[in-house]
Chain A
Amino acid sequence: MTLDPITPAFSPVDLAIPVFVVTILLEIILARLGKVRAVYEVKDTATSLGMGLGSSIAGAITGGVIFAASLWVYKYHLFDIPMTAWWAWVAVFFLEDLTYYWFHRLSHERRFWWASHVNHHTSQHYNLATALRQTWTGGLAGTWLLWLPLVFLGFPPAMVVIQKGISLVYQYWIHTEAVRRMPRWFEAVFNTPSHHRVHHARNPRYLDANYAGILIIWDRMFGSYIPEDDAEACRYGIVHNLGDFNIFRVAFHEWMAIGKDLAGSRSIREVIGYLFGPPGWSPDGSRDTSATLKAKWRARMATVSPAASEETIPLQAAE
């Protein structure tokens, strides 16, 4: 069997589109019948799905540049990794997932990349349609550069593209409240609806956690894992939720906010802080970042119940 190392033999995402449509309809219908938990607000759903549609257009526009860059890097690859070897697929599975973890963490913890990723978190709902609320500006933000080292190592560009697609398709099904918990062994190794609900929550205790793509092991390894606590329901969205359903606001609001801040900057330090500081960074500390929100939350918990707060505050939150 031969596989073209340059052009992907198939697109996992394209193949999954009919599954996306059928499962979203199924989630809505089963929720209507009271069989599963799911909340769909019409305008919110239209916004999520419209963002998904727009994302595929934006991806087509920037895809050529990304593809050309991959080809250029592949010319200088270190090792010849055959696409037909089973071990190569195992290796790319783990390495791509590790790359995704760091891409995702960067996309939450540094504002320049958050500006591109934030739209995925702007829904105050958590359902399968939310999974399709994808970025329009990912190509411009340049996070795709993070995958080029895999190509430089020798993984054929087509292999990396296919594995990225598999990861995206995997992450689709975890955007649901219909599944409470998977079996314990599964929750220990894989990213699940429960883990990802935490990731989409705006409760201070849950901020900046569970960046996993397919494997939750990376969060456990790098200290960003927070389990879902049944005593504190996830409240979805972003710290400062959007004021309307305007799809262009969803796509560009954080870029506009960055532009506004940069226009008022008075030094290089402020420019760098506004661009690459954590979301919420400000020169005088008057705005909240995830860290300050968590600190305030910990202080409130300590006031309410000092003993209880020590037990329930996740270790990684106590940085």
Chain B
Amino acid sequence: MALNADRQPVDGADDGPLPCGRSLEAVWEGTVERGRSPAAEAAHRGSCPHCSAALADLRTLDALVTAARELDPPGGTDALTARVMDVVRLELRPGRTLPLGTRPDDTGWIFESAAARELRAAADGLPGIRAGSCRVRPLDVGAAEVGQGRGPLRVHVEVAASLEALPTAAEAVRGALFAVAERVLGMDVREIDVRVVDVLHEDMGTDGTGTGHGPEGSAG
């Protein structure tokens, strides 16, 4: 095939058995080839120089691979991250525009991504809660599509919750998000669907991008 140059191990070029007749794959994997008895194979492998050499070579490689795997990955990726994010910020996906305000004469709008950021932060601020997906949609999808898109809204949010937070997670998230929607964003949110999608374990919830508090201190 095109990718193989002449010096490379080419498929089928050197597939023959070891000089003792055993296949290299069988020796490496410790399997017995068809037609040979397991007892005789065990005795053979104990004494055969070709089999022993093949296994010793494999162990040598394995030791080196283990050493290579334990090495730290290359550091100094801050510049790479910055370059990626420079491009990303030129290609933002702010999402749909959502109406601000609750009165008929309100005219303000907000991008869904900006609203979602505030709502997620409110969920992250609860003990033992981390937010994932957060979408904001018109409460009445049909009416919004016909009209100008102004009208009451519905929020769908997915969270992970610690075991302690789990029993009251939905209510707590709903309360925090209603408060932020009304007092911080000024959005007419009427319904909030909370889906708990995962369980946070003891030491989770304090890391990452959110401002989430850990579940009641880190035990231990």
A and B associate in one complex: no
